[in-house]
Structure 1
Amino acid sequence: MGFSVKSLATCAAYMVVGPTLMIVNKNIMDKEGINFGYPFLLSSLGLIFTGTLAHVMRFMGMLELPHGHLVTKKFWIRNIFPVGACHAATLSFGNAQYMFMGVALIQFLKAFTPMVVNVFVYVLLGKTKSQKVWLALLIACFGTSMTAVGNMSLNMFGLLLAAGSSSTEAIRLVLTQYALQDCKFTLMEGQYFLAPVGAFCLLALSFLFEGNRLLETGDLGKMVANPTSFFFAGSLGFGVQMLTAGVIQLTNSITLKILSQLRNSLVVLSGVLIYGEVITFGQFCGYLVSICGIVWYSWLEQQKQQAPTLPVKSTENEK
């Protein structure tokens, strides 16, 4: 899982498209914008676009499913459905956290998500990392956690929600990695199976928690009145889905979360440079520490890829 030109290009695109989607969604949800306050429904657009496109391509004979025979009922229950369910659960837990804890503490806890992903990579896939990789991840996570400032008051139920959010996100990413790397699914083939389940779970949450308000207020009409904005959001969501899967396929789920941490830091720093926003000295040091950890982790992964593999003599035919 080295960093080839293709890997670097995919990671770079992921770093750009993700924040762009955040800005578009913020404008859609902002009271000064379209004022469409339905995060579950909005988050489902990218998955709906992705799943629809994959199935249309399949119907038109433009998409092959060379590994479709692997998707038995048992495989679907154990590996496909949990991805969609965890996608919805992560968003649900993530939104609920803000009712019990401040933004600073939530960001502090989110900083350690790469460590949680690494744990689930070992638990679910049996893949281990060296002590140096663990240390690099810890440095990156600790640096990111230093950037969280504000109310750090702890709430036990909020802490459980944070643990649930990190765990479900980790499970989703690790199972996606299993489908794309271990089972060798192609990007679009993987989305053919994964995206519809995720869309269904998010739409189910939207129906439960947003449905009545959506119909009573007539806000559903805002999607018709602003087709360009919602189509753009769905298209960018498709891009995020494909790039997320691409990063996982070409690197791994841990690298994806590390990139997410770096991306968030760059968004904050760009706000400082462009809008003159103020950050504390402690936050600045945190960004530097985080970047050092990320660079070290990337170097370790590159060294692992370049390390020569010793041939193993087969004893299958020995008597």
Structure 2
Amino acid sequence: MAPSPNDKQATASREFWIQAAITYSYIFLWIFLSALVIMVNKYVLAYSGFPFPIALTLTHMAFCSALAFVIIRLGFVETIHMDSSTYFKNVVPIAALFSGTLWLGNAAYLYLSVAFIQMLKAMMPITVFSVGVLMGTEKYSPMYALNMVVVAVGVAAASYGELNFNLVGVIFQSGSIVTESFRLCLIQLLLQARGIKLNPVTTLYYIAPACFAFLLFPFTFIEAPKMIHSETWAVPYGWLSLSAVSAFALNMSVFLLIGRSSALTMNIAGVIKDWMLIGLSVLLFHSPVASFQLVGYGVAFAGVCWYNYQKLQQTVRANVSSNKPPPDVEKEPLLVNNGSPGPRSDR
């Protein structure tokens, strides 16, 4: 006997809720792992007696390189063939910038609270837009520029309200944001323009070893001498292992989300994560957060949201003018940092 319409509707409804539960479980996993990486890195660098951000990042790159190599060699994930010329011209510059992003971003944890770092990260759209205009991946728009002014004012207010402001830490975090912005633009120019598509596993396979090589140079001249001539530090093996495993798992969670979620959903989840990290920073590390600081961050957050909306409207207009079907809002990469391929820099 054929199933009745009610049975079909019940089955479809049940399947919908199952798929929704899986998708939101993946989103929750991504938020949890992203927050875990950040909080563990903060503890390792600022509280465990291991103030060596380059060494921490080297540990991540070595672990991720090894696991990505094993996964690909065992055939769990297919890789792409890349000749040496393509690798050195397209991948190595991106790896160099990503090394700077991770090194400088981790170094900021020595000087700034997790809460304040998350507020400073609201500057990312400004730097991505500015670098994009400079490199030709973005078109200048007075409205976008006004948006960037709003975000800048909000971040400036948040910085003014920071009770434990540290200029060195702000310079490190700002440098991390700038190198990340250049990395994202190079991804558009060097990889996407050539049609090279890398998932998180193959990206780690190609980029993590190069990052490790680049980081060896500053480690040799900056941190290695300190580690040799100082006896006041200790290796927190357990925390370092947890940090490395969490960093790799974070990239795998992105792999799980591909095809099940969207850049828009990731942006919303990212906002939840940022506010959650501010709360965790206050709760776990007793980071002082002033009311004026939260107001400033709220202004910056509103500016970022408005920027995302304008980017979506621009995409809709471009599709209409070219007679393309209207875009699926849930699939539009609104904020290039969330929609970009590559290892996660949420740390």
Q: TM-score, normalised by structure 1?
A: 0.68
Give SS of 1:37's match.
coil
Q: Supply the distance in 1 between the matched residues of 2:270 and 2:61 (Cα, whole angstroms).
A: 19
Contact 1:83 / 1:176 at 8 angstroms: preserved in 2? yes
Q: Supply the distance in 1 between the matched residues of 2:143 and 2:27 (Cα, whole angstroms).
A: 23
The question of 1:296 aligning with 2:306 is answered yes
User: Which position in structure 1 is the counterpart of 2:180?
Assistant: 169
**Measured at CA, do residues 241 and 105 of structure 1 come closer, stay the same or move farther in structure 2, by a change above 3 Å?**
closer
Give SS of 2:90's match.
helix
Aligned match for 1:60, one of 74, 82, 97: 74
CA deviations 1:259-279 (Å, max 9, x no partner) are 878755542345557888654
Q: Supply the distance in 2 between the matched residues of 1:191 and 1:309 (Cα, whole angstroms).
A: 37
After superposition, the CA RMSD in angstroms is 4.7
Structure 1: 5+ residue runs without aligned partners?
A: 314-319
User: Which position in structure 2 is the counterpart of 1:81?
Assistant: 92
Letter in 1 for 2:34: G
User: Which position in structure 1 is the counterpart of 2:294?
Assistant: 284
CA deviations 1:61-84 (Å, max 9, x no partner) are 233223x2xx34343233211222
How much has 1:211 moved relative to structure 2?
1.9
Deviates more, 1:56-65 or 1:179-188: 179-188
How much has 1:234 moved relative to structure 2?
0.4
The question of 1:193 aligning with 2:206 is answered yes
How much has 1:191 moved relative to structure 2?
2.1
Letter in 1 for 2:222: F
How much has 1:7 moved relative to structure 2?
9.7
Contact 1:50 / 1:241 at 8 angstroms: preserved in 2? no
Query: 1:145-294 residue pairs with structure 2 within 5 A?
Result: 145-148=156-159, 149=161, 165-176=176-187, 179=191, 182-216=195-229, 222=235, 226=237, 228-242=238-252, 251=263, 263-271=273-281, 279-294=289-304
Deviates more, 1:210-219 or 1:79-88: 210-219
How much has 1:186 moved relative to structure 2?
2.5
Contact 2:45 / 2:52 at 8 angstroms: preserved in 1? yes
Q: Supply the distance in 2 between the matched residues of 1:75 and 1:47 (Cα, whole angstroms).
A: 21
User: Which position in structure 2 is the counterpart of 1:37?
Assistant: 51
Q: Supply the distance in 1 between the matched residues of 2:205 and 2:252 (Cα, whole angstroms).
A: 11
Contact 1:187 / 1:245 at 8 angstroms: preserved in 2? yes
The question of 1:119 aligning with 2:130 is answered yes
Q: Supply the distance in 1 between the matched residues of 2:257 and 2:184 (Cα, whole angstroms).
A: 11
Structure 2: 5+ residue runs without aligned partners?
A: 1-19, 325-347
**Measured at CA, do residues 259 and 165 of structure 1 come closer, stay the same or move farther in structure 2, by a change above 3 Å?**
farther
**Measured at CA, do residues 288 and 312 of structure 1 come closer, stay the same or move farther in structure 2, by a change above 3 Å?**
closer
Letter in 1 for 2:55: L
Q: Supply the distance in 2 between the matched residues of 1:15 and 1:229 (Cα, whole angstroms).
A: 20
**Measured at CA, do residues 115 and 40 of structure 1 come closer, stay the same or move farther in structure 2, by a change above 3 Å?**
same
Contact 1:120 / 1:174 at 8 angstroms: preserved in 2? yes
Q: TM-score, normalised by structure 2?
A: 0.64
Q: Supply the distance in 2 between the matched residues of 1:90 and 1:301 (Cα, whole angstroms).
A: 25
Among all aligned residue pairs of Structure 1 and Structure 2, give the percentage whose two residues are the same amino acid: 21
How much has 1:93 moved relative to structure 2?
5.3
Contact 2:45 / 2:109 at 8 angstroms: preserved in 1? no
**Measured at CA, do residues 93 and 47 of structure 1 come closer, stay the same or move farther in structure 2, by a change above 3 Å?**
closer
Letter in 1 for 2:212: A
Letter in 2 for 1:49: F
User: Which position in structure 2 is the counterpart of 1:26?
Assistant: 42
CA deviations 1:37-87 (Å, max 9, x no partner) are 221111223322222122112222233223x2xx34343233211222223
Letter in 1 for 2:292: G
Give SS of 1:24's match.
helix
Give SS of 1:128's match.
coil
Letter in 1 for 2:296: G
Query: 1:3-22 residue pairs with structure 2 within 5 A?
Result: 13-22=29-38
**Measured at CA, do residues 163 and 23 of structure 1 come closer, stay the same or move farther in structure 2, by a change above 3 Å?**
closer
Q: Supply the distance in 2 between the matched residues of 1:20 and 1:248 (Cα, whole angstroms).
A: 21
Q: Supply the distance in 1 between the matched residues of 2:158 and 2:24 (Cα, whole angstroms).
A: 26
Deviates more, 1:50-59 or 1:121-130: 121-130
Letter in 1 for 2:43: N
Contact 1:84 / 1:195 at 8 angstroms: preserved in 2? yes
Aligned residues: 296
**Measured at CA, do residues 119 and 30 of structure 1 come closer, stay the same or move farther in structure 2, by a change above 3 Å?**
closer
Give SS of 1:222's match.
coil
**Measured at CA, do residues 285 and 207 of structure 1 come closer, stay the same or move farther in structure 2, by a change above 3 Å?**
same
